Structure 1
């Protein structure tokens, strides 16, 4: 490209994606923990996404739900917690300290200050009172092991206290202390989400005291998180890195320097890979198809997505807030979307048929059947619905 940097084109980026994101043939993983370790983080805002993202990447998806639940709630090898961009993710347990130090601490400070400020404006009790309630609630949670907010409020009635938020504004509302406090404690790394109250698609969770862990230095943690992500998603631009982490650009640049990231040339400008990852990377041996869920970490992995998702497809596949819906992939690019109907049938539609022949359609059909088989009688409706998903599921 004239700048002395190795050029990595779209075809190679798609090959890397298929292999490193466990999507193509032999690249598929043996278990849920291996999937999470390969992707660094699984989006957890919509609980179903975690299971659907894992199932799409397992060599044998038959027991996806049971195996993922065991990893989350029995082995505790996976942990659901707030992470980058103040979003809920599922991380390998070994990464929780890194995520908390690299992204959670700054958010936690803002969240607690906001809670204290909102309570003061509403004439609610002060920070000292809140500290008492917090200590009591954590003690109750430790005794119970896991508990819902309502169960904790039975032990510590002050959690039921209410205060008006944004009084006089169009978005005025009433918050309970428990709702806001548990959210703050989650971001601070003091509590984590436990088992849901219902099935694996439920968004109502119990809470548990977070396991103790060492607290690495912020710069050290940021370097480690960026290294892991770049090893899976590189090459990526500075803008991609800033968007995915939610950090300031100065923090991104400091972490890039700390890991000795190497520069490469991309269609959209300069990109970065981890040290030693500049050379060609072999993709899956055979073309591959995948049905990925709404908010899948691959579809949401980069800010600039033109190399795998054509802009003309965005209106059908994203909601108004920028959340991606269920997507159909063929050999490293998004070619359509899918949905589940009320009778359990998995239906899909091509939006970009270029290079998608009979073999591709047969592979996509097989993936739809594989998904239908392991999901079974469960009905999955994405938390953030998109135009195509609504149309297909009707």
Structure 2
């Protein structure tokens, strides 16, 4: 008779989160690279998320920005590139080949086909013309090292060509060849985001040629990525895995089998951990508080979130597209939100007071003071704003 899968309760799931996401005292990382490896990927759609998420997990958050910038743009041990769900992430450099093979190849094929189709509908030049332009643009980028789309268009003027998109639809617009082509080259793993114009909060990025990496077998890469993610976020349900990876359910199931994942039970039903991760995990010795940024990978890590985020809090904490705003955490669950006011102060509000006392409020206040000091004169506004964040920022 087969052994019944072990049940992992909410308390243990929160303990795993605290320890493996480097949020509890004594688990903090020593470098930005260590943070990225622990989480597998840092959301990079909002540039500030990377730096704030790293700083929240470092034992010594001093010089977080300088150290993270050095990792991204000097020694290139961290790479900002397109990954799961057609989204920009920051990955450890050693994972770029795995991400490209496991998720990028399929996304890239669809993105290129869509670009060619849209250009054809608009009567724009054909695929052969596009290929000629991209080869010229890549050559220009190689000469420059890093460049914005505007700078590349100085070398290859055809990048400025425009074509109508979705004519007659409510979302009709005009695209430039550069905006669409560079995005396609990004998901193809041929270019990555370079150093931004302006400060670390800027969304205006230069482009750079992607670091060379070996071409991996797709199935093997999917197994590798899934195993790494389960080590950081297991237990996770099949729905969690499908959502996080953006893969088809058949790919998820094949990767689970190849990775030797083990079934366990959680409140939502069947879930999975790595083959050597079935033993019980006890929580950190001390309770902990954290202020995590918008789109933080912990808050966005699972599709099914009731075990760490009460459903009644979601309308205040998420925007209309499902992007989470800045969150306040206590002992493995989201209990509120925070925002930075124009004067630099950190405003925060508790939404779930179940089990919270003076100790929790003092710890959260301490985290807010530390974050305010760390930000100094810098002002951070999330790229995707949520109802409560807007309210707190205006308070």
TM range (shorter): over 0.9
Match of 1:193 in 2: 193
Q: How does 1:330-345 map to 2 (within 5 A)?
A: 330-345=330-345
- Per the TM alignment, residue 4 of structure 1 is displaced from its structure 2 partner at its CA by 1.5
Match of 1:296 in 2: 296
Match of 2:158 in 1: 158
Match of 1:80 in 2: 80
Alpha-carbon displacement from aligned partner over 1:262-283 (angstroms, at most 9, x marks no partner):
1111111011000110111132
Match of 1:315 in 2: 315
Match of 1:238 in 2: 238
- Per the TM alignment, residue 373 of structure 1 is displaced from its structure 2 partner at its CA by 1.2
Match of 1:355 in 2: 355
Q: How does 1:1-394 map to 2 (within 5 A)?
A: 4-394=4-394
CA distance in 2, matches of 1:319, 1:285: 35
Alpha-carbon displacement from aligned partner over 1:154-182 (angstroms, at most 9, x marks no partner):
00011111111112222111111101000
CA distance in 2, matches of 1:174, 1:5: 54
Unaligned regions of 5+ residues in structure 2, if any?
Answer: none
- Whether contact under 8 Å (1:62, 1:373) holds in the other structure is no
CA distance in 1, matches of 2:59, 2:314: 30
Number of residues of Structure 1 aligned to a counterpart in Structure 2: 393
Bigger shift: residues 165-174 or 237-246: 165-174
- Whether contact under 8 Å (1:338, 1:349) holds in the other structure is yes
CA distance in 1, matches of 2:117, 2:261: 41
CA distance in 1, matches of 2:333, 2:172: 43
CA distance in 2, matches of 1:33, 1:282: 26
CA distance in 2, matches of 1:271, 1:178: 43
Alpha-carbon displacement from aligned partner over 1:285-310 (angstroms, at most 9, x marks no partner):
21000000010000000000000000
Equivalent position SS for 1:159: helix
Equivalent position SS for 2:295: coil
CA distance in 1, matches of 2:162, 2:66: 38
- Whether contact under 8 Å (1:291, 1:329) holds in the other structure is yes
CA distance in 1, matches of 2:68, 2:100: 22
Alpha-carbon displacement from aligned partner over 1:242-261 (angstroms, at most 9, x marks no partner):
01000011100000000111
- Whether contact under 8 Å (1:318, 1:386) holds in the other structure is yes
Alpha-carbon displacement from aligned partner over 1:72-113 (angstroms, at most 9, x marks no partner):
000100000111111110000000000000000001000001
CA distance in 2, matches of 1:299, 1:172: 33
Equivalent position SS for 2:337: strand
With normalisation by structure 2, the TM-score equals 0.98
Equivalent position SS for 2:26: helix
CA distance in 1, matches of 2:275, 2:3: 19
Equivalent position SS for 1:26: coil
CA distance in 2, matches of 1:243, 1:355: 31
Equivalent position SS for 1:392: helix
Runs (4 or more) in structure 1 with deviation over 2 Å come to: none
CA distance in 2, matches of 1:185, 1:5: 44
- Per the TM alignment, residue 374 of structure 1 is displaced from its structure 2 partner at its CA by 1.2
CA distance in 2, matches of 1:211, 1:32: 19
- Per the TM alignment, residue 3 of structure 1 is displaced from its structure 2 partner at its CA by 8.1
CA distance in 2, matches of 1:191, 1:131: 15
Equivalent position SS for 1:321: coil
Equivalent position SS for 1:27: coil
CA distance in 1, matches of 2:170, 2:350: 41
Alpha-carbon displacement from aligned partner over 1:348-374 (angstroms, at most 9, x marks no partner):
000001111111111101111111111
